Amino acid sequence: MGVVNVTPDSFSDGGRWFTPGAAVAHGLALIDDGADLLDVGGESTRPGARRVPVDEELVRVLPVIDALVARGATVSVDTTRARVAHEAVRHGAAIINDVSGGLADEAMHEVVAQTGAVYVAMHWRGHADVMDTFDDYVDVVADVRRELAERVAALRAAGVHDDQVVLDPGLGFAKPGASNWPLLARLPELVADGFPVLVGASRKRFLGHLLAHPDGEPAPPLARDGATAAISALAAAAGAWCVRVHDVKGSADAVRVAAAWRAASTDLSTEPSADPRRAQ
């Protein structure tokens, strides 16, 4: 899933793709680099970001969705608003990627049920300007799984079918630092809950801290793509359905490596046992 930020204040690209023409060109370039999906968003969710008016969000994303769908792209809309989600699907988006899992807009689940769109429900505890205050877990993996199960129950109650649902552990959201690593290390537990899993680690703060300079200064976002690709490979090997990334080419290559590795492992597990006496 390639990221198309139609925002002036993204933490990762600083508004490089803010105009519709630039956003569409960027999305098509990501497809050339190997993206299967394009995630179009008109409101930044970077730490500390303020909300934009819903009409402004619509003006930002709908022309881009129209143009990308017309070029044959499979598009996801990155929004927490039911109205934006509904309009985006009407304009051809196939997926609603809601970082709030429906908690930011009580009408969202109804839109998902009515449209039949695939819905990514992310683990979330608050909007970008306050989310870091909610980094309080007893066991982050157990807590995230429990809270995502609550989102699934709410979706079912609204008439959403299980085959529409994708889960996202919400790396970086109410998890500014070390809380992210257990979620990645124990990703198979989330996969085992039975829903496809989306992993969005791309260029996030916890990678900046991991790659910090000797003086403690975090690595800048554009210097985090190598680490992102490593997570993409590991997430794919752990059974993730998709990875959401800014630099598609590196992660596409990493996912191919993971797929080949898993395929070879499966082949080896089905081969007859080798003679232990054979010379190596």
Tokens of 181: 């690593």
Active-site residue, from 81, 204, 205, 224: 204
> What crossing angle do the helices spanning 54-70 and 20-32 adopt, rounded to 10°?
50
d(CA 89, CA 250): 29
**Three-state secondary structure string covering 147-178:** HHHHHHHHHHHCCCCHHHEEEECCCCCCCCCC
* CB 120 within 8 Å of CB 198: yes
| 90 noted as active-site residue | no
Active-site residue, from 244, 249, 262, 277: 244
| 244 noted as active-site residue | yes
Residue 59: Cβ-neighbour burial (10 angstroms; 0-12, 13-18, 19+): middle
d(CA 10, CA 213): 23
Long-range CB contacts for residues 4-7, cutoff 8 Å, separation at least 24 = 4/30, 4/38, 4/39, 4/40, 4/41, 4/64, 4/68, 5/41, 5/44, 6/40, 6/41, 6/42, 6/60, 6/61, 6/64, 7/41, 7/42, 7/43, 7/44, 7/60
Closest CA to 144 of 167, 160, 126: 167
* CB 84 within 8 Å of CB 90: no
Residues in contact with 99: Cβ distance below 8 Å, sequence separation at least 6, in sequence order? 45, 78, 80, 122, 124, 168, 170, 173
- Active-site residues: which are they? 204, 244
